[in-house]
Amino acid sequence: MRLTIMFISAVWALTLSMTTSAHRAWLEPSATVLSGEDALVTVDAAISNTLFHPDHVAMPVDGIKVTAPDGTNVGMINAVKGRYRSVFDVPLAQQGTYKIASGSGGLRAFWRDEAGNRKMWPGRGQQANEADFASAVPANATDLTVSRGWRRVETFVTVGAPTKEVLQPVNQGLELVPLTHPNDLYATETATFKLLIDGEPAKGAEVEVVPGGMRYRDSQQVITLTSNSQGEISITWPHAGMYFLEASYQDNNVARPATVRTGSYSATFEVLPL
């Protein structure tokens, strides 16, 4: 878990984790189910202490990608980055399901220098050039940890009838494959999702599901799950509203120079009343 948290910190240049840290990265659409020929959705993007309440720092919009039902990229409009959140609009010209996502990853190294100071490569907010690894990371570094991982933040929006093209995995890092469509979720019903790590079932992935509105209650009301041997989890939604799902995975099934493989995934889902 700590290795996963370090990886996420390097990618986002912030401390992101599950409930052990207050900061979570999220994408919240103004609606997830729409109709009509000229539909448009507004999306908030932030990293915050309280879910869906921007109170820490805005998420950069340059790393966010919108994929249309036919697999083409959709350009966001009216994008603005404030101090606590970014906001942008997405025109939804096609009928079907869209994916709005941010993802990054690669090789990361952490160690201590001779003075005991914590070092890492690449630096915060930078992308690794793996050809530089041997010259950038001391071979005899103290407390050296080298990880290869991927971080994803997603949400889904459907205009008209749901479609499945954008739900197909790319078989890189930790991914969620919805066996229940992510825009067909209803209170008191059970949804099933499958987690993959590099295209294989992510057995034993740790998952937390938190309902929105936590600013207005004393308890986070966290639903804690562990994926089964097929990488599957089932969630019975207690009530309607926005929900945040976060999953974490780690193993040592990775090629050198990495010694650990990590994956982190999070998504926002809207659960509708029956």
Q: What is the mean pLDDT of residues 202-211?
A: 98
Q: Which two tokens stand for residue 257?
A: 């120079």
Angle value at C-alpha 156, between 96 and 68, nearest 5 degrees: 45
8-state DSSP, 173: S
Q: Which two tokens stand for residue 217?
A: 């209650």
Beta partners for 267? 154, 245
Query: At residue 8, what are phi and psi to the nearest 5 degrees?
Result: -65, -40
Q: Considering only CA atoms, which of 89, 230, 102, 91 is closest in space to residue 154?
A: 102
Burial of 178 (0-12, 13-18, 19+ CB in 10 A): buried
How far apart CA 225 and CA 123 sit, in angstroms, is 33
Q: How confident is residue 15, by pLDDT bands cut at 50, 70 and 90?
A: very low
Burial of 73 (0-12, 13-18, 19+ CB in 10 A): exposed
CB 107 within 8 A of CB 258: yes
* Total residue length of the chain: 274
Q: Considering only CA atoms, which of 187, 211, 197, 183 is closest in space to residue 247?
A: 197
Beta-strand pair 39-48/57-58: antiparallel
How far apart CA 93 and CA 101 sit, in angstroms, is 18
The pTM of this model reads 0.87
Q: How confident is residue 266, by pLDDT bands cut at 50, 70 and 90?
A: very high
Beta-strand pair 86-92/77-81: antiparallel
User: What pLDDT was estimated at residue 62?
Assistant: 93
User: What pLDDT was estimated at residue 123?
Assistant: 87
Pick the CATH number of 2-105+147-271 from 2.60.40.1930, 3.40.630.30, 2.70.70.10, 1.20.120.1750: 2.60.40.1930
At 256 the three-state DSSP class reads coil
Query: At residue 202, what are phi and psi to the nearest 5 degrees?
Result: -90, 80
At 133 the three-state DSSP class reads helix
Measured CA to CA in angstroms, residue 226 lies from 41, 193, 196, 249 at distances of 33, 12, 13, 10
- For the chain, the average pLDDT equals 91
User: What pLDDT was estimated at residue 211?
Assistant: 97
Q: Which two tokens stand for residue 200?
A: 């294989």
Residue 21 has pLDDT above 50, yes or no: no
| Per-position b or e across 45-69, b if 16+ CB within 10 A of its CB | bbbbebbbbbebbbbebeebebbbb
How far apart CA 68 and CA 94 sit, in angstroms, is 7
Residue 44 has pLDDT above 50, yes or no: yes
Domain boundaries, the chain: 2-105+147-271
User: What pLDDT was estimated at residue 22?
Assistant: 57
Residue 96 has pLDDT above 50, yes or no: yes
Query: At residue 7, what are phi and psi to the nearest 5 degrees?
Result: -60, -45
